């Protein structure tokens, strides 16, 4: 992953060095957390990529549950219990068993899933279900699981063999799974949803989908090596956090992740949750009311150049942008149709799709430069397991460092818990 910033982010090497000194104690803490197999701190997610025991457990269970008749894996979870998996799945488009996602309360989706299940079982196929909830009590997830399990029960006597639960040990969901003899994979207490993509939460469905989870972890370890380092000059997460924080202080209270590859749209949505839920806080770490936060946006190039780009360029100067592009994705040369057609946009003649996209990207970045708008650029070599994991891990560390600079707790979500509680109270009448 290539990261560039200095010239365009409005910070100087001296700013970065100062922040490096401010954050050096925290970086040391993160390095210790990454080596701590007991998952003892709030930052425990940084240990996940080197947890070989976890990877072995996930792989063993996936092997046991895979069969030639498996047609679909239903991922039942919401927020952090689903978005990381979806980000990786959508970026890599793996060729294993297809995943479907249940992350909202939606009648049509449930009805369609049940008729799909009936059709699959009629044709002697099977469906597998992974119910994922750290708390084990999220209403949407428990509701979707009830509808889908009920359907599964009507189709096979061995419905228990077609479910794996992923939850915090000792949650009510974990108790249910144990009572039923359904395998339960752990979501460690100190790894919250949005930080859990490299835990069993993401690994189990992804390995069934055909993703190489060892390579996934390898990419994340590579990002950690770079992003937990004291070497400011090479620490992309530190540089990026400092640039965003610097821009915030000058009024850029929104952060736009501008991905120039539609396959990264769900990675963008994952980032949106990470930034929104980790940094949007009513109180700071000292308990003072601050209403802090960076409002995350996701835009897709080139589609959104014809949608919100006018606003991004001409509107309020309240945004910081991270451009993300993928270097190599294969190519298609632009064919000729006939003389008249080819004369409509003659600049396309003898060009390829990548050449056109590169020109669009360069033009977009240039217009930001011309207006002196703050941004950083991230270049991903190719969309494979290692690179996507490297990017996600970079974003997680960047968010932790940014929270530290903003003096907010990146790991709680009191207002989300508040809505969950009110929903249950309303349902109980
Ligand atoms: O990141 C988070 O903590 C949240 O988005 C949770 O993942 C989400 O609310 C779902 O919670 P749970 O996994 O407990 O069902």
Residue-range domains of the chain with CATH: 2-30+219-406 (3.40.50.10490), 44-211 (3.40.50.10490)
For residue 202 and ligand 1, the question of a CB distance below 6 A is answered with: no
The C-alpha atoms of residue 138 and residue 320 are separated, in whole angstroms, by: 33
- Count Cβ atoms below 10 Å from residue 394 Cβ, excluding itself: 24
What are residue 51's phi and psi, to 5 degrees?
-90, 90
CA distance 266 to 50: 25
H/E run at residue 166: strand 163-167
Closest residue (by CA) to atom 3 of ligand 1? 193
Nearest to 210 by CA among 92, 387, 120: 92
Q: How far is the CA of 165 from the centre of ligand 1 (A)?
A: 15
Through-space distance between the first and last CA atoms of the chain, rounded to whole angstroms: 52
**Is the shortest distance between the CB of 299 and ligand 1 below 6 Å?**
no
Ligand 1 centre to CA of 298 (Å) is 21
CA of 42 to the centre of ligand 1 (A): 15
Q: Is 420 a catalytic residue?
A: yes
Tokens at 202, concatenated: 């993401």
- Top mutation candidate among 75, 76, 77, 80 for ligand 1, by most atoms within 8 Å of CB: 80
What global pTM score does this model have? 0.95
Among the listed residues 249, 291, 306, 339, the single catalytic one is 306
Q: How far is the CA of 362 from the centre of ligand 1 (A)?
A: 38
Ligand 1 atom with the smallest distance to the CA of 82 is 7
Active site residue 29: no
pLDDT in tens, the chain (429 residues): 787 765 666 778 888 888 889 999 999 999 999 999 999 999 999 999 999 999 999 999 999 999 889 999 999 999 999 999 999 999 999 999 999 999 999 999 999 999 999 999 999 999 999 999 999 999 999 999 999 999 999 999 999 999 999 999 999 999 999 999 999 999 999 999 999 999 999 999 999 999 999 999 999 999 999 999 999 888 999 999 999 999 999 999 999 999 999 999 999 999 999 999 999 999 999 999 999 999 999 999 999 999 999 999 999 999 999 999 998 778 999 999 999 999 999 999 999 999 999 999 999 999 999 999 999 999 999 999 999 999 999 999 999 999 999 999 999 988 878 878 888 888 887
Greatest C-alpha distance within the chain: 72
**Residue 175 annotated to the active site:** no
Q: Which of 277, 377, 385, 386 is catalytic?
A: 277
Cβ–ligand 1 distance for 144 under 6 Å, the answer no
- Residue pair 173/137 in contact (Cβ under 8 Å)? The answer is yes
């Amino acid at each position: 992953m290539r990261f560039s910033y200095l010239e365009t982010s409005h910070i100087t090497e001296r700013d970065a060095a100062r922040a490096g000194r401010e954050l050096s104690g925290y970086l040391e803490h993160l390095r210790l957390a990454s080596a701590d197999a007991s998952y003892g701190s709030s930052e425990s997610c940084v240990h996940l990529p080197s947890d070989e025991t976890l990877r072995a457990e996930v792989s063993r269970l996936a092997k046991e549950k895979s069969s030639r008749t498996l047609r679909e894996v239903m991922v039942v979870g919401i927020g952090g219990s689903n978005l990381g998996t979806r980000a990786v799945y959508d970026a890599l488009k793996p060729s294993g068993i297809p995943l479907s996602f249940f992350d909202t309360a939606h009648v049509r989706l449930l009805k369609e899933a049940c008729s799909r299940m009936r059709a699959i079982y009629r044709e002697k196929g099977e469906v597998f279900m992974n119910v994922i909830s750290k708390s084990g009590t999220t209403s949407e997830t428990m509701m979707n699981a009830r509808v889908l399990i009920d359907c599964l029960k009507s189709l096979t006597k061995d419905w228990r063999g077609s479910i794996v639960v992923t939850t915090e040990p000792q949650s009510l969901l974990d108790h249910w799974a144990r009572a039923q003899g359904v395998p339960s994979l752990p979501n460690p207490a100190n790894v919250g949803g949005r930080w859990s993509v490299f835990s069993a939460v993401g690994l189990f469905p992804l390995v069934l989908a055909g993703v190489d989870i060892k390579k996934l972890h390898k990419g994340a370890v590579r990002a950690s090596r770079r992003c937990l380092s004291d070497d400011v000059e090479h620490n992309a997460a530190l540089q990026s956090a400092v640039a965003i924080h610097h821009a915030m202080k000058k009024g850029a209270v929104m952060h736009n992740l501008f991905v120039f590859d539609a396959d990264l749209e769900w990675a963008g949505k994952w980032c949106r949750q990470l930034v929104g839920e980790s940094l949007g806080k009513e109180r700071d770490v000292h308990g003072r009311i601050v209403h802090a936060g960076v409002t995350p946006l996701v835009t897709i190039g080139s589609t959104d150049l014809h949608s919100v780009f006018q606003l991004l360029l001409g509107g309020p100067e309240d945004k910081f942008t991270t451009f993300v592009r993928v270097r190599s994705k294969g190519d298609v040369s632009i064919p000729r149709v006939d003389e008249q057609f080819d004369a409509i946009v003659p600049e396309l003649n003898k060009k390829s799709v990548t050449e056109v996209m590169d020109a669009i990207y360069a033009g977009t970045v240039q217009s930001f430069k011309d207006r002196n708008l703050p941004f950083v650029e991230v270049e991903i070599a190719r969309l494979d397991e290692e690179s996507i994991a490297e990017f996600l891990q970079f974003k997680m560390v960047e968010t932790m460092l940014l929270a530290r600079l903003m003096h907010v707790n990146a790991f709680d979500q009191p207002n989300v818990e508040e809505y969950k509680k009110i929903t249950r109270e309303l349902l109980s009448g």
